[in-house]
Amino acid sequence: MAQKDVGNKVPIYKLKTTKQVMEYYDEWGKKDKYNKDMVEWNYTGPKETVDTFRRYAIDKDILIFDAGCGTGLVGQQLKKYDYKNFHGADLSQKLLDSIPENLYQKLIKVDLNQTINVSDNSYNAVMCVGTFTFGHVKPQAIDEFIRITKKDGLICFTINEGIYKEYGFDKKIDELKKDDKWEELEFFKSDYIASKDVNAWLGLYKVK
């Protein structure tokens, strides 16, 4: 699928390397600019994803890993619905530093394109919103999400429509289904950043 013209509307989509992405976010996180932009753009990814997740995650005491947590927008939605135990992980220390105090029980700096320094079967669920996008995190990260998630745990994520096939997310998702690694519960096109004409696939899977 073509990128439409989202590279001009959302400049970070033009970036190619992890270093460029980290530097961009570190700058974007200053003076609350990232959060202000998300409000202005009507970025609905966190709300849509948590709304989908909470229909299946009935137990509010489960331990959740928010991969690519940014400034904590997913964490705020989880807290709104009374989830109590969630850890945040992000590439940008500046964004982690901007997260409201006491929102997450734990915050770690991590490159999701590398092995995550977390033991197998540690979490009941993984959330990953806004991170599978141009120049960011590649499909192999899903293998790590499955590794750190307990059996019958949930993995809930968005994938920018422009990279779904280009980066091979379509093949990775099918491969994991064929290998009986997970079961599809939800998969649909979400609004994501409708104000910028940017949509994303929203998936929710149960680890087997």
pLDDT in tens, 145-155: 999 999 999 99
**pLDDT above 60 (res 12):** no
Would you say residue 56 lies in a domain?
no
Residue with tokens 């079961």: 183
- Closest by CA to 196, choosing from 3, 9, 2, 1, is 9
pLDDT at 143: 98
Q: Which of the two residues, 193 and 97, has the higher pLDDT score?
A: 97
Which residues sit opposite 193 in a β-bridge?
198
Within a domain: 37: no
Higher-pLDDT residue of 117 and 160 is: 117
How confident is the prediction for the chain on average, in pLDDT? Answer: 87
Q: Domain containing 174 — which CATH number?
A: 3.40.50.150
Q: Does a structural domain hold residue 67?
A: yes
Within a domain: 1 = no
pLDDT score, position 87: 98
Total tally of structural domains belonging to the chain = 1
Domain assignment present for residue 173? The answer is yes
CA torsion, ordered 89, 91, 95, 100, to nearest 10 deg: 10
- pLDDT band at 41; cut points 50, 70, 90: low
Q: How confident is the model at residue 2 (pLDDT cuts 50, 70, 90)?
A: very low
Backbone angles phi, psi at 83, to 5 degrees: -70, 140
Q: Regarding predicted confidence, which is higher, 132 or 198?
A: 132
Strand intervals (E) in the chain: 63-67, 85-90, 106-109, 123-132, 149-160, 182-193, 198-207
Residue 153 within a domain: yes
Tokens encoding 125:
């669920």
* Domain housing 76: 6-31+42-50+62-207
Is residue 55 in a domain? no
Look up the pTM and report it.
0.84
Query: What's the confidence (pLDDT) of residue 10?
Result: 55
Q: Is residue 196 part of a domain?
A: yes
